[in-house]
């Protein structure tokens, strides 16, 4: 789990990290902001099994509230990470 963040509504927040699958190449890293109902792919199909994959994801919250980003990887065998990583964040409207 990634430490919670507080971000302003209308301003982008960027997440980044690394993924690896113990010698099996990762072909995509996926992101969900709706508890896993829908996933957005970040193509990393050029990766190899002997290196960590660096990924980035940027999101701009349009409404105040609490959000939870789920992050998982898919390897070349089609196997999905057993448990996604999570990043919680709260979007707020600045005073003034």
Look at the alpha carbons of 16, 47, 37, 11 in this order and tell me if their dihedral is positive or negative. Answer: positive
CATH of the domain at 84: 2.60.40.650
Which pTM value belongs to this model?
0.86
Kindly report the length of the chain: 96
The domain tally of the chain equals 1
Q: How far apart are CA 83 and CA 96, in angstroms?
A: 41
Our CA dihedral for 74, 54, 11, 87, rounded to 10 degrees, sits at 60
pLDDT in the model for residue 2: 54
Both structure tokens of 33: 């902001």
Q: Which domain holds residue 65?
A: 5-92
* 11-38 confidence digits (pLDDT tens): 999 999 888 888 888 999 999 999 999 9
pLDDT band of residue 84 (cuts 50, 70, 90) is very high
pLDDT band of residue 65 (cuts 50, 70, 90) is very high
Both structure tokens of 72: 């998982």
């Amino acid at each position: 789990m990634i430490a919670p963040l507080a971000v302003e509504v209308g301003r982008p927040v960027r997440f980044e990290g690394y993924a690896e699958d113990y010698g099996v190449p990762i072909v995509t890293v996926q992101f969900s902001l709706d508890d896993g109902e829908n996933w957005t792919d970040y193509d990393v199909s050029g990766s190899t099994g002997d290196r960590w994959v660096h990924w980035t994801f940027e999101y701009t919250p349009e409404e105040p509230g609490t959000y939870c980003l789920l992050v998982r990887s898919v390897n070349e065998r089609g196997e999905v990470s057993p448990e996604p990583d999570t990043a919680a964040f709260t979007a707020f409207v600045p005073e003034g």
